Structure 1
Amino acid sequence: MIGRLFDTGRRRQFDGAFRFWLFAASAVFATGVVYANIFALPDALLIGILFVCGIYSLLFLAVGASRHSPAIPSVFDWVLSAASVACGIYFFMIRGYLANHITLLNPLGADQLFFGAVLLALTLEATRRTTGPGLTIVVLVFLAYNLYGHVLPPPFGHGYIDFGSFIDTLMYTTDGVFGVPIQVAASYVFLFVMFGALLSKAGGADFMFQLAAALTGKSPGGPAKIAVVSSGMYGMISGSPTSDVATTGAVTIPIMKRLGYSARFAGAVEVAASTGGSAMPPVMGSAAFILAEYTGIDYRDVVIAALIPALLYYLAVYLQVHFRAVRQGLRGIDQADPILETLKSGWVFVLPLAVIVWALLVGYTPTYVAVYATVALVIASFFTRRTRMTPRGVMEGLGETTLRMLPVAGACAAAGLVIGGLTMTGLAMKASNIVMLVAGSGTLPLLLFGAAIAILLGMGMPTPSAYILGAVLVGPAFVAADIPVLPANMFLLYYAVLSALTPPIAVAAFAAAAIADEDALKIAVTSVKLAAFGFIVPFFFVWNEALLWQGAGLNIAIAALGGVVAVVILALALESEMAHWLRLLCFVAAGAAMAPYLELSVPIIVGAAVLGVIWWRRGTLPLIRTPGEIAVRSDS
């Protein structure tokens, strides 16, 4: 019984008339969200209420109460859906009261308490169905602390909070459910998810795979490189590692296995590549939008700052795959279309991505960036019969947008509950003080502690929730330690993203395990090795802000070159045969190459460049032996 209570629901697979009506209702809802973001300007609280109640009404029909729920919604599901609609109607009817309401000074009436409590219960159930027990338990613990924390002794306790004040803060202000996470979900995130859904509907995912195959397919280890490139491109649009693994991994993992990669390594390549997509510009994931809104940093600046670390991350994964392929003699695929032919047939998908980059550089808000990119996609799709989007295709794309947003909405609403509770009780500041007390006065221990918290939070909840809770709990401690806001929040974002592949939970690895027919934990361990640079680079961009495109142009260029050298050295150290002392020396050299001190980084960069030219002229890689060379060596 308890297991069922904390079970995760599953998205139902509908057929026939009900599927049509569900997609139609979802498309209508999506159209309303787009209209509200572009043309209407209601206050943040009202749009948050209508978004939450509307999406809940669809969520309880589309997602079952557990994995064992029937394919058709039960009576209880319909009751929850109707209750969501009723809450939306009620809150809309009292919108005048909400506009003039002063929190905690105007006591709530009985009807306001009732509908606030109902919406709170609906939020908890929506969270449980879409994200599972991890985030749900965290929310319940914080809610219990809000109501009963006054009985705890100092310094853990807080002042008494009555139920009316509790509901008032969490449900009738922008400090609770309708705070920053849900506001971002109802605007930027929704619009970019819509762009991704329509892009996939037009065939964009297939184009990305074909482009990756044209670029890398025939080289050694081609299928794995296709996985790295295609997953990176698709992941920056989807923003979901699990979705990325399921989409691109269904094609790349079987091909990798067939051409000689082990199931473990094939799954790990897909997991590492898919996870990095949530930190890959220009779209990144929903957590990046929350970062921009929460910190007040322009989203364009966030995208620019994320560019160098993201490219270095994918270069690191790519090189490890390449060195492994050379060492094991793994060949590429036999056939791949020429790159120009691929671009010629798929230019309609390049155009909207170019529009995104242009609009960001010009300075448009994320809302208009997403809208312009979507309009460009729809218009461009009409130029070829294969990609042309019919009205039915657009409707299905809009419906799919809403359904993709269900877990995001549940996670963001739950995160708002936790943030509201932290604000109400003052626990955020207490937690920050505890972090500083435990970590001590040093920056490195504080960063290690912050990374551990972000990863632990991410193991039990989606990336947006893990990031925002980490930012609320640890962010003030980072600021107190004089770590600038952008590096501090990018640091937490990276570890929240990497939690998707970190054992023992590693949700992305479980998705790959089902395709690769391999143990999920083994895949997760190998994916951590492939993503090793991702675990290291956040410490260095806190230390050297030039890696985040901050500072003088020369320093940025040196930092980028140092990062490339560090990636090559690190990949060689991880994928070659060498003594332990030499491997350790490589790790030290990689770190020195990214250091902010020119007397350390420049000699490493120059030395690596000289060695690289020598090895290139010889046509061999150091410490990476092909199967033929290994056989000759063993015979001798």
Structure 2
Amino acid sequence: MIGSLVSTGRRRKLAAGQWRATIVAAAIFSAWVIYANLFTISDPLVLGILFVSGIYAIMFVAIGATPRAPDRVPLYDLALSAMSIACGIFFFVNATAIADRISLLEPFTPAQFFFGTALMLLTLEATRRTTGLGLTGVVVLFLAYNWFGYLLPPPFGHGVSDFSYLLDILVFTTDGIFGVPIQVVASYVFLFVMFGTFLSMSGGGEFFFNLAALLTGRTRGGPAKIAVISSGLYGTMSGSPTSDVVATGSITIPVMKRLGYSPRFAGGVEVAASTGGSAMPPVMGSAAFILAEYTGVAYNDVVVAAIVPAMLYYFGVFGQVHLRAVKYDLRPSDSEIPSVGQTFKTGWVFLIPIIGIVTALLSGYSPTFTAGFGVLTMLIAAMLMKRTRLSLWKIVEGLGETTLRILPVAGACAAAGLVIGGLSMTGLGMKAANVILVLSNENAILTLVIAAIVTIILGLGMPTPSAYILAAVLVGPALAKLGYPVLQSHLFLLYYAVLSALTPPIAVAALAAAAIADEDPFKIAFTAVRLAVVGFLLPFAFVWNPAILLLGDPLANVLAVSGGILGTVAIAISVEATYGARVTGIERILLMLGAVAAITPMTQVSIAGIVLILAMLVRYAVLLKKQGGTLGTVSNAE
């Protein structure tokens, strides 16, 4: 059942000639995206039309209809690709007429009705192939509500909406398919994915792994710590927990298993580490760009606000991994750990584009310019060393691979546009907000709890951008009605959209790890949830105390960051029930209370919590010193 919800079409392994032709076509499309974003001022409607039609034309060739689709491209997929191109040509040629027409008043011509309906159906099929039945079913459900909702009693019903009304809003305006999600994907998301593609092709993934191994490989639990650091570094570029698990987990999970780590623990570490990458600046995955565009908050402000929570998330995962390694005496890696010289001999070139991106963002440049600048500096940096240098054909491959990597995100965001357009048309978002407020009796904390649960449910089996978008339009208004600031409330929703990737029962990231670890995905998911427990608590913390997002005065920010660090340590010790020796139940409760107090916005209470945690940590250090730092070991982790 779960497999059918998350299974997608199969990416074809085309014959050599067909593959080269597809890569070249995809590379030309990438080159057009660069030109359209950096060298022209494109009309949003025209950009959306050309982007969607081009993506669909490549998608139906590159991705089969089912997981068992043949490598040979069947005639019906060629027909779908041709129809995508035809839709693009029609909408592009008639873009001025479409932009000038008065929506809901001017009737459709037969050609407009035909191509509009075709594009909507192509979007549903593209969504099914790239994201599975889960998101597709949600979109179809919303479309059915938009079309037949007038049959429902108040307050859930709405005015009569025939199909033409629906088609007009969802296809012939920038409120539907060509709305904010696809506009974001067609601009800086595409360019940041391109940056990540060239970084990976030049050997950046290997550099991140070696850097993580250099830092932690010789410590107890080293391989698991390598997974945490390397997955976080890679994840901020990839923006997809599932692809991060596949990319880095294929290396880290077998190493952990070989050194005696249980498959469950190895998979759980990789899933928890990979999932957090979508909340790690500077890139944070495509959902962060959508958040900035949807809320009107500058992306630079989003990045700065997200720094401390992301670091606390990984500090929490790292801390629990360390304590688990101490508890079970997990060995360091027996493989050769690279030296500083080996790591940076060629790896130093990868620091140039990363520093360039961060500098451009902090200097106030737009995300689109920043991403384009990152791609340019990445290509220049790669040319500095023979080992990282890319040939002309490799650059073409990188451009083409960027288009192929963006296919699932584009499919999900086009579908999300259908949902957003329908919600704005029927007012369902405000109705859902009212239902949430009734259920919570407008209690602030209970509303946040319901918002978190709803967001996780919406995100089960869905890409992070789709989960966030659905939560933003359905749950966001409820938080706004209670007066929660925009940035805090939407980062709250984004975090739970991200965490839905590791949350049972679907946990798509755990499904990816299960295939590598050869373990039950449910066991991996539950282990990942335990390791990521700080991540589930963080959103409540930064909504309660905005200084954790560096939104307070200097003293408040310092106290919040200090309290967050010590609170994370306290939670890790409490959850793992060890600091190097057994922690009693009373001590675990005290640690949790201290963690809550440490991150409170009330200065005196925060200082008291910090002092309590410090006192307990000093006590544990003294006890460990008396015991000689030893601990009886357990046979295996979980």
TM bracket (short chain)? over 0.9
Q: Which amino acid letter does the alignment assign opposite residue 134 of structure 2? A: G
| Distance verdict in 2 for CA 1:623–1:318, change over 3 Å | farther
Match of 2:590 among 580, 585, 600: 585
> Contact (CA 8 Å) 2:207, 2:347: kept in 1 or not?
yes
Secondary structure of the equivalent of 1:627? coil
| Distance verdict in 2 for CA 1:564–1:623, change over 3 Å | farther
Secondary structure of the equivalent of 1:388? coil
Secondary structure of the equivalent of 1:495? helix
Task: Give the CA deviation at 1:613.
Answer: 4.8
Distance 2:414 2:164 in 1: 20
Q: Which amino acid letter does the alignment assign opposite residue 285 of structure 2? A: G
Q: After TM superposition, list the pairs within 5 Å mapping 1:476-491 onto structure 2.
A: 476-491=477-492
> Contact (CA 8 Å) 2:24, 2:400: kept in 1 or not?
yes
Q: Deviations over 1:322-378 (max 9, x none)?
A: 111112112212431223541242111011000111001100000011111111111
Distance 1:624 1:439 in 2: 48
The residue that corresponds to 2:339 in the other structure is 338
The residue that corresponds to 1:180 in the other structure is 180
The residue that corresponds to 1:570 in the other structure is 571
Q: After TM superposition, list the pairs within 5 Å mapping 1:148-547 onto structure 2.
A: 148-334=148-334, 335-547=336-548
Distance 1:74 1:597 in 2: 65
Distance 2:145 2:342 in 1: 61
Distance 1:211 1:174 in 2: 44
Judge which range, 55-64 or 6-15, deviates more: 6-15
Distance 1:99 1:326 in 2: 64
Distance 1:153 1:606 in 2: 57
Distance 2:355 2:78 in 1: 43
Secondary structure of the equivalent of 1:346? helix
Task: Give the CA deviation at 1:162.
Answer: 2.1
The residue that corresponds to 1:600 in the other structure is 605
Q: Which amino acid letter does the alignment assign opposite residue 388 of structure 2? A: T
> Contact (CA 8 Å) 2:275, 2:509: kept in 1 or not?
yes
Distance 2:411 2:630 in 1: 50
| Distance verdict in 2 for CA 1:342–1:101, change over 3 Å | same
Percent sequence identity over matched residues?
56
Task: Give the CA deviation at 1:610.
Answer: 4.6
Q: Deviations over 1:80-134 (max 9, x none)?
A: 0000000000011102202312211222211101100000000000001111111
Distance 2:558 2:339 in 1: 32
Distance 2:169 2:470 in 1: 18
| Distance verdict in 2 for CA 1:180–1:625, change over 3 Å | farther
> Contact (CA 8 Å) 1:4, 1:66: kept in 2 or not?
no
Distance 1:173 1:606 in 2: 57
Task: Give the CA deviation at 1:384.
Answer: 0.7
Task: Give the CA deviation at 1:614.
Answer: 5.7
Distance 1:501 1:316 in 2: 16
Secondary structure of the equivalent of 2:475? helix
Task: Give the CA deviation at 1:390.
Answer: 1.1
Task: Give the CA deviation at 1:603.
Answer: 2.1
> Contact (CA 8 Å) 2:199, 2:350: kept in 1 or not?
yes
Distance 1:72 1:447 in 2: 49
Task: Give the CA deviation at 1:599.
Answer: 1.6
> Contact (CA 8 Å) 1:6, 1:128: kept in 2 or not?
no
Task: Give the CA deviation at 1:624.
Answer: 8.8
Distance 1:390 1:31 in 2: 17
| Distance verdict in 2 for CA 1:275–1:623, change over 3 Å | farther
Q: Which amino acid letter does the alignment assign opposite residue 17 of structure 1? A: G
> Contact (CA 8 Å) 1:615, 1:622: kept in 2 or not?
no
Task: Give the CA deviation at 1:165.
Answer: 1.8
| Distance verdict in 2 for CA 1:445–1:344, change over 3 Å | same
- 1:47 lines up with 2:50 in the alignment: no
Task: Give the CA deviation at 1:609.
Answer: 3.2
| Distance verdict in 2 for CA 1:206–1:4, change over 3 Å | closer
Distance 2:626 2:118 in 1: 64
> Contact (CA 8 Å) 1:264, 1:518: kept in 2 or not?
yes
Distance 2:605 2:510 in 1: 38
Match of 1:626 among 608, 628, 631: 631
Judge which range, 42-51 or 490-499, deviates more: 42-51
Task: Give the CA deviation at 1:617.
Answer: 6.4
Q: Deviations over 1:594-636 (max 9, x none)?
A: 11112211122234335545655676599996236x89xxxxx
Distance 1:354 1:499 in 2: 31
Aligned length: 628
Judge which range, 586-595 or 512-521, deviates more: 586-595
Q: Which amino acid letter does the alignment assign opposite residue 242 of structure 1? A: T
Unaligned residue ranges in structure 1 (runs of 5+): 632-636
TM-score (norm 2): 0.96
Q: Which amino acid letter does the alignment assign opposite residue 529 of structure 2? A: V
Q: Which amino acid letter does the alignment assign opposite residue 460 of structure 1? A: G
Q: After TM superposition, list the pairs within 5 Å mapping 1:1-12 onto structure 2.
A: 8-12=8-12
Q: RMSD in angstroms over aligned alpha carbons?
A: 1.8
Q: Which amino acid letter does the alignment assign opposite residue 584 of structure 2? A: A
The residue that corresponds to 1:634 in the other structure is none
> Contact (CA 8 Å) 1:578, 1:623: kept in 2 or not?
no
Distance 1:621 1:207 in 2: 40
Unaligned residue ranges in structure 2 (runs of 5+): none
Distance 2:551 2:301 in 1: 10
Secondary structure of the equivalent of 1:400? helix
> Contact (CA 8 Å) 1:501, 1:509: kept in 2 or not?
yes
The residue that corresponds to 1:83 in the other structure is 83
Distance 1:312 1:610 in 2: 21
